[in-house]
Each structure stands twice: as C-alpha cells, then as structure tokens.
Amino acid sequence: MIIIITDMLKNCYFTPRQKLINWINEVLQINLTKIEQLGVGSIYCQLLDAAYPSKVPLHKVKWKAVSEIDFIYNFKILQNCFEHLSIEKYIDVLLISLRFKN
C-alpha cells in the first residue's frame, strides 16, 4: 500500500522539467526552452487566462520584462487575479528568482 501511494505522489509532484515545458508549449502554442523563462511571470498570466478566459488583464502584462521590478509587477497581476477568482494561492513576490530550485 505504501509503495502505491509513493508512486502516486511521485507522479503528481515530481514532474520532469522538460515535460512541464512541453505541456506549456502545447497549451499556449509558444516555444519555451528553459523552465527559468517562467520567472518573468507573463507565462503564468497566460496560463491563468487559458483556464479563465478574459479574467486576466493581459494588456497590463509586461511581455518584454527584463528587470526584477517588471517580474514583480507581472506576479502582482497574477496574485490580483487569484484573489478576484477566489483562488487561495499566495505568491510571495519578494522571493521571485529566475533560478529553478530543485
């Protein structure tokens, strides 16, 4: 029984990077190459908009974000959408980093 539960958890929580990238590329029809590209926040906004059409103000997203201030701005848009949609997920914008943590 423990082995079955462990296998289920492994499949749910330990998805390989490339599998995530492929899924995002397929859903959004984009061409991500590295998981670190998610750190700018715009892709998360697009994913949320795909799940909840017209609920994310995509016109406010900084698509060519290069500075940490722009990344934080994008994640604040995402957090505001979570609150508006009653999604109980908090993003600590002060901990945003473009480095993938294993």
Q: What is the mean pLDDT of residues 74-101?
A: 79
pLDDT digits over 40-70, tens only?
Answer: 999 999 999 999 999 999 999 999 999 889 9
Which residues are CB-neighbours of 33 under 8 A, at least 6 positions away? 21
pTM strictly above 0.85: no
* Dist CA 81 CA 16 (whole Å): 27
Region for residue 54 given its phi and psi (left: phi exceeds 0; alpha: psi -120 to 50; beta: otherwise): left
**CATH classification code of 2-95:** 1.10.418.10
Domain ranges of the chain: 2-95
* Dist CA 43 CA 47 (whole Å): 6
In the structure encoding, which two tokens stand for residue 20, read together?
Answer: 């995530």
Q: What percent of the chain has pLDDT over 70?
A: 77
* Dist CA 29 CA 50 (whole Å): 11
